[in-house]
Amino acid sequence: MIIAIDGPAAAGKGTIAERLAAHYRLPYLDTGLLYRAIGKVMAEQGLDPDDAVGAGRVAAALDLTHLADPQLRGREAGELASRVAVHKPVRDALLKFQRDFAAQPEGAVLDGRDIGTTICPQADVKIFVTASPEVRARRRTDELNAKGRAVDYERILVEIRERDARDSGRTAAPLRKAADAHLLDTSDKAIETAFRAAVDIVERARAERA
Ligand code: CDP
């Protein structure tokens, strides 16, 4: 079974995807880490993240299995990721790795922005996880504050809106709900409730296919 989870920043898709993978004992790929890794390498090499050709070259040469670096999960890496993610050569270079991951015998859970639309259009279940920008900014602010990083809610809200605009406005595989994706709005849901709603979606989809 292939489960595709997409949605904007801080909507809860990572946590839901990870928990679904554990629940169904499926391998899990957080595809955001791929873009984050490319952004980080470009910064380290002093390359311009807005250079499509350079970014494509880095993407093609990158070892995509080394994604454990905790720095990749940081705010700066996320910002860089969304800049390198607009380039078609980058997305093309990452396509095969993601499709191969999804093609494992037991299936897989992948989360990102374009899994249901581009990477796995034939996924068995697609879930588009979203929440209002204000709720997402509040969650991200609390998460960063809990890690000891003093950040301002208003600033994070601006960043979230900018990232949404960049991810949805690009021409290469923009953030978009696939027509056959199930919408899961987590604005007024705690993570446990959101996870249960996701399991319900998967179970209903499985029952329909059976
Ligand atoms: O958790 P958060 O949404 O902040 O970040 P992420 O999922 O790791 O994604 C970081 C950035 O990578 C996004 O803003 C997208 O621009 C890009 N991305 C993408 O374009 N396609 C994907 N499948 C995954 C991430």
Cβ 159 under 6 angstroms from ligand 1: no
Q: Has residue 75 got a pLDDT over 90?
A: no
Concatenate the DSSP letters of all residues of 113-172 into one string: SSIIIII-TT-SEEEEEE--HHHHHHHHHHHHHHTT----HHHHHHHHHHHHHHHHH-SS
pLDDT at 124: 97
Q: Has residue 173 got a pLDDT over 90?
A: yes
Helix-helix angle 133-146:153-169, to 10 degrees: 120
Q: Which two tokens stand for residue 33?
A: 């880490």
In the chain, pLDDT over 90 holds for what percent of residues? 90
pLDDT at 195: 98
Which of 41-50, 66-75, 191-200 shows the lowest mean pLDDT across its residues?
Answer: 66-75
Cβ 107 under 6 angstroms from ligand 1: no
- Within 13 Å, how many C-alpha atoms sit on residue 26's CB side? 25
Cβ 128 under 6 angstroms from ligand 1: no
Q: What is the pLDDT of residues 132-151, one digit of tens each?
A: 999 999 999 999 999 888 89
pLDDT at 182: 97
Q: What is the pLDDT of residues 90-107, one digit of tens each?
A: 999 999 999 999 999 999
Ligand 1 centre from 210 Cα, in Å? 33
Ligand 1 centre from 29 Cα, in Å? 12
Cβ 37 under 6 angstroms from ligand 1: no
Q: What is the pLDDT of residues 23-55, one digit of tens each?
A: 999 999 999 999 999 999 999 999 999 999 999
pLDDT at 149: 86
pLDDT at 141: 95
Cβ 114 under 6 angstroms from ligand 1: yes
Q: Has residue 65 got a pLDDT over 90?
A: no
Nearest CA to ligand 1 atom 8: 32
Cβ 112 under 6 angstroms from ligand 1: yes
Ligand 1 centre from 106 Cα, in Å? 25
Q: Has residue 74 got a pLDDT over 90?
A: no
Cβ 32 under 6 angstroms from ligand 1: yes
Ligand 1 centre from 82 Cα, in Å? 6
pLDDT band of 77, cuts 50, 70, 90: very high
